[in-house]
Structure 1
């Protein structure tokens, strides 16, 4: 009996260590994806705006750049394949994506392409600080669609955050034209405003749809599969934008635009390539966070990086920081703090309930029958 008890204790300890390792690995993947998302979410809008303020005028080209760097995903996929081959010492599976996930990725990719166009048009007309604040409303749309599609549960803190972000967007829209760039009409400005808001709503729908796709899939979702899914989405988004470029004759205009670019021809192509690379960080990070946590957290991370994007736009591009933006930013930060405080309290309550449950189990086990 003693040997059997020791064996059980050893097995229990082994299982605990295995569980701890899995939790640690999942957290590390989450942190890595948060870092990747941070790079893309701050660098992407700044580089895209740099293209426009220095003489770039092609909206279809700029939206193509948001997903046109998808071949970069082949690098981590190749690394994953080599690792699997060396680990198993057998012929490893080349791809994990199933027909269902491929079709879903294609549909979501086209929607992402539409979203890219809406966002690129908005950025071409608005200062980065303004477009970033509008994009913060994405959290509201993500939360709403997450509730409808994946039955996301909300706390009072989450609802408070959503309300505050909505009010922030309204405050920004009341006197939004006060920071209208020189030479731009009110119609152009407000068209950019609402196009950016539309991009926010559409991507707020895409994120929960990715999570729903994972849940509906009958295959095990690995991080390699997440990269494959992102590559398919980017491929079809790029195909959609390529059609727009062909119709608008953007390919023929690139050499002419490069010669007239304020920073010079070489830097023009550097800006284009940098855009393509950095935006891949954004998309991979976004769906990586969904894989590690949820679509709601992905939306929150995108919104949380708003103050950093705001600050960098003011520093690098000397954009005006009006009182309306200040109020909207304060409300946004208040909303973020509210959400994270709610998550902190919920986690503490969950930990406390687990401890109490374990204590009661021990007490019951030690009580005489």
Structure 2
């Protein structure tokens, strides 16, 4: 990460902290987002475009860290030393990046609708199958788009997490909602699968955008880019809401909601916040690591969401779900072990190079 002289301990510590924060955001979003969205449909909500709108509609949250960063940089302008240290942090989104983010934002808007459509018809167990396939699609597109290198441990992790989550689909018929026709069930299934494939493409595209940028990518710039993507995705869904007159039906739906009007609006706000945390964590992990790592983290959280669904929605905890939990934990542990082993190997190699350099100098 540094330009010479070995790794900077302070910068490395900052990078790890940033990685931890984004992992926490992704954890809260990946578990809370589907559960709150499902809560909306379970208690009387039925507007697909509104549900899709909420998946990126929490973008105003991003204005707070961006505004704080701007204020912080303004304060440091008076200090020449701070100005030199923080100068690289004051990069802003350029027109090429803006256009790329806009395109990815529109793709995300399409993905939001496809996901909302599937979630409205399918139980959590079946919806989890889409997340499993998303990791496989992410790995495939990462290999094609950004030429991501796969180690034995990473490949093992991807396979285990994908198969583990796929076990959830084996018991899907047992959780199938009563009265749902075969046509709607399979339409929801394939829309969900399509959403997985599309988002599996979006993650490597974001990584490619970072890699090919002609300016330094800082975390604040990542948040600016996420803001643009969210605004365009939300605008796409807003057009769908306008065409279907969803905005006019919100007060009526709130009055008929099982949890009351207050519960209805709280559900909408909670959904928007949770999903925005999901996207912040996703792009943040891509920035700190890679699109594959982000996909692995998402897949790891699937069985956690399943456990929470059992607790809060009293869904059955089947043998398939138990097997999915075990395999997902095994896959995630495999990835962590592989990363740790690679880090120790790299550190040992750096020490050997340093020792050889000293010997040559003598």
TM-score after normalising by structure 1: 0.89
Distance 1:234 1:128 in 2: 25
Say whether the 8 Å CA contact 1:140–1:165 is kept in structure 2. no
- Relative to structure 1, is the Cα distance of residues 143 and 364 closer, same or farther in structure 2, using a 3 angstrom cutoff? same
Say whether the 8 Å CA contact 1:36–1:281 is kept in structure 2. yes
Mean alpha-carbon deviation: is it higher for 185-194 or for 259-268? Answer: 185-194
Cα distance per residue 1:271-321 (max 9 Å; x no partner) = 111111121111111101111111111111111222221111110001122
Match of residue 320 from structure 1: 316
Match of residue 82 from structure 1: 71
Match of residue 67 from structure 1: 56
Query: Are positions 1:141 and 2:137 aligned together?
Result: yes
Distance 1:306 1:172 in 2: 10
Say whether the 8 Å CA contact 1:207–1:295 is kept in structure 2. yes
Shift of 1:82: 0.4
**Of 187, 190, 193, which residue of structure 1 is paired with 2:189?**
193
Shift of 1:346: 2.0
- Relative to structure 1, is the Cα distance of residues 149 and 223 closer, same or farther in structure 2, using a 3 angstrom cutoff? same
Q: Would you say how many aligned residue pairs link Structure 1 and Structure 2?
A: 352
Say whether the 8 Å CA contact 1:137–1:165 is kept in structure 2. no
Distance 2:334 2:129 in 1: 18
Rg: which structure is higher? 1
Distance 1:283 1:42 in 2: 12
Match of residue 5 from structure 1: none
Shift of 1:166: 4.0
Say whether the 8 Å CA contact 1:40–1:280 is kept in structure 2. yes
**Helix, strand or coil: the match of 1:137?**
helix
Distance 2:61 2:194 in 1: 28
**Helix, strand or coil: the match of 1:23?**
helix
- Relative to structure 1, is the Cα distance of residues 29 and 171 closer, same or farther in structure 2, using a 3 angstrom cutoff? closer
Q: Over aligned residue pairs, what C-alpha RMSD do you find?
A: 2.3
Cα distance per residue 1:160-195 (max 9 Å; x no partner) = 233334444554445532210222223322322222
Match of residue 40 from structure 1: 29
Unaligned runs of 5+ in 2: none
Query: Are positions 1:228 and 2:211 aligned together?
Result: no
Unaligned runs of 5+ in 1: 1-14
Match of residue 30 from structure 1: 19
Say whether the 8 Å CA contact 1:129–1:309 is kept in structure 2. no
Say whether the 8 Å CA contact 1:127–1:319 is kept in structure 2. no
Say whether the 8 Å CA contact 2:158–2:296 is kept in structure 1. no
Match of residue 176 from structure 2: 180
**Of 20, 38, 52, which residue of structure 2 is paired with 1:49?**
38
Distance 1:166 1:72 in 2: 32
Shift of 1:148: 1.1
Distance 2:90 2:343 in 1: 39
TM-score after normalising by structure 2: 0.90
Distance 1:31 1:249 in 2: 41
